[in-house]
Structure 1
C-alpha cells in the first residue's frame, strides 16, 4: 500500500507557476467577455486647420494719434 502523498515530490515553485497560469487564463477569459464600446467619438479625418490670428485693427494708429494729441 502507498499512503496518499507519500513518495510524491511536490515542487512548490512549479505549483505556484501553474496557479499563476490558471489565474491568468481566467483573467483573460473575463477580459474577452467585457463588452466593447459601440459609440466612439468622431475623429477628424482631415488635417485640423488652425485659425489665423485676427488682424490688428488700426488701434496702434489711433493710440499714436491720441498720444500725440495729449502732448
Structure 2
C-alpha cells in the first residue's frame, strides 16, 4: 500500500479551540453547534481543509500527516 503525501497541519485560533474542546470531552456535534456549523460533517470538512483527519480510535482530530504518512503509531486499519 502506498503512503499518502500530506501537507503539514495548519494551527489557527479556531483549530486550537476545536482541539481544546475535544480534550475537554465535548462531542463533535456539540462543538459544531457552538461554533455555528450546520453539523459535524461541516466541522470535519473545515478540519480536513486544514490538513487534519478524524481518528475514530482516539475520538479526536489528528494531523493528517501523522495518520496517513506512516509517522503515526496506529495507522493500520
TM normalised by structure 2 equals 0.19
Structure having the higher Rg = 1
Higher strand proportion: 2
